[in-house]
Each structure stands twice: as structure tokens, then as C-alpha cells.
Structure 1
Amino acid sequence: MNWSDFMRTEINILSDREIKIWDYAESQTGTMELVTEKLSREGIFEQYRNIHKSYLNLFFRSDEEPIKLETLKRLIFLNWYAQVEPSCYTGIEDLDNATVFDSYSILNQYLIDGKIDEEFMWMLSFYSSWDYTILPFSENKLEALTAFVKGVDTSVLSCPKNLLPKGVMGNRGQMGIYWISMSVEKLN
């Protein structure tokens, strides 16, 4: 197995770990508070913090731009999702602030360098509608990211509906599950 295949395998393993946690969180019953307490007690949130950090580590270890971009997409999604969706449904809670900031710093540089692809552009535009999830990390520190977030028209949710090829969001962790639920893929 060459280094490139190893990196792709690692990203798939992280995706599988995300799906297992999401499946487990989704299977829980009881009040939101009880489920959150149970997930915390069982170490589920800590497992997700480790996945989040693993994506950042994978980003730094990879030399391949497609892998770096995909891991960055997943990091930014998790940063956003941890703040907008209750942890009892996702298994994600209290992500490491240093990891969150590092991923936003990378994103800031990607914006400066024009390394954001079309998919990431609409994803980031969508996340920016919840500016409170990004601005506390970027304002007065990451100028390009702050300008991007503040420049988004929040009256329009900018994600494609039924336009992407079927399966494009498969095997992409909770990010893929979320975007499939938002009907970005073609129906058939």
C-alpha cells in the first residue's frame, strides 16, 4: 500500500468511526438531557473529540491536496455542526478549541490562496448563515475568513438542491449524512 492509499484508508476509517457514533447516538432513547449524560458518561464525546483531532493530524500529514481539502471540509463541518445541533443527536460535544481554531486558520489561508473548490464554497456559505459559529474564532484574527462570513447573504441558504450526482456524499462521515438529509444529491 502506498502513502496515498494509506491516507485514503485513514480518512475512510475516520468516516466509519463517525457513522458508528452517529448510529449509536441516534439509537438512544429518553430525554435529551438523559441521552447527553449517557453519551458523556460512556466517553462518546471524547471519542468524537479524538476523531476531530485525527482529521487535523491527517491534514498535516498528507501531501495530497485532495485529501487535505476533504479533511478540511470535514473539520469545518464538525466545528459548525457541534454548535448548531444538540450533542445527544450527533455524539459531538465540546470540541477542542485549539483544533477548531487551527482548522479555521487553515481555512483562512485557503481562502487567501484561492484553494476552496465550488463544493466547499457553498458549504462554507451555508455555515456562514450561522455566523456565531465562526466569528468568535475568526474576528480580529483571521481576516479573510471573517470577511467571507460577513459577506454572505444570510437571507439565502446557499446549498444545491437535487443537483449533485447520487452518491457524492457517501462515505463522508456525518458531513455526508447531513448533506444527504438536505437533499443536495439527485434523487436517482
Structure 2
Amino acid sequence: MDILSFYKIHGLESIVTEAEVALKIEGRDYEETDFGRIMADIKKRINKEYQIDLNNGKVDDISFETGIYKAATSLFLDTMSGVHMKLAAEHHLERYQLQVSTHIAKFNWLGYTRESLLKMLKHAQTKKHLPQCEKAIISFEQSLGTINFGLEKRLIMIMCVCYEIGVYEIVSVIAEILYLGGRYES
């Protein structure tokens, strides 16, 4: 057995499920069309599970590093860093093999041209350029109800939720996964 074999057993689907569990994304969230309502429900569930009130800000805000939420935020970020590691490793192995699990054509590029969507996904991969993607991510949030359920919709949901709560490293790795899927889809 090698590393590649391990990830073939678990795969991107199970890592996405782990991310959904960590972020408290439930099946009914994929049926809801109002992303504001989805985020309100997810924030309530995260507060209940981790005792972090994300209505007060994003996890990268200084108040979560020093205040009453410090220990809870550390636990939440530890969980999210585990998800990030697995997503990044899975992405690397897909890139290594040039075998992709995602196809951006499945969601009709969300009203963008293929080239402009790929450019946005490329920008979302870096901290420096991520702020330029805010309008696109907001349009993703508004378009979630139009995407058929599947791996791509699940990844976009996770990406949007992570953007809204300040876990930008996961936004970046999902952008990389989707970008690779757009570059190498047939």
C-alpha cells in the first residue's frame, strides 16, 4: 500500500463529507435557496457545537484569538486544519496523476465564461488576490440553488461557507480543486 492507495480508498467524497460535518452543513442546506438563511442556520449549529458565536465576526478576527472564544476557536480551527490537510493532499494527488474529480462544466460556469471562471478560481488560490474574488463568491452564494446536487455543489457550498466564516485556506484549496477540474476536464 502507498499513499495513493490510501486516498483512493477514502477519496474526495469522504473528505467533503468530513468538511460538511465539521462545518455543520446539513442536507437541507442544499435545498435552501437563500444563502443568508443557510449561513444563519450554520452559524447557530457551529455555536451550539463549538461555542463560537460567528455572528460576532469571522474566526480570523482578533477577538476570537484572545477573548472568551480562544479555546473554542482553537478546537474549531484544529478540526478545520485537518480537513484542509486532507483536501490539499487529495488535490496534490489528483494533480500528480492528472486525474480530476470535479468538472466546472457541470454547473454551467455560474454565468461566467469558462475563462473568466478559471481566472477567478486562480485568484482565489492566493491570499493576495482573494479579495478580488468577493463579488464572484457572492454570485456563487446566490446561484447555489441553481446547481444540481453533486460533488461540485458540495465543494462550492463549503467554499462559500468557509469564505463567510473566515477559513480562507479551505477556500483556496477548493478553488485549486475546481480550477484543476476546469483545466483538465474533457
State TM-score, norm by structure 2.
0.34
Greater RCO structure (CA 8 Å; 6+ sep): 2
Q: Which has the higher helix share?
A: 2
State TM-score, norm by structure 1.
0.34
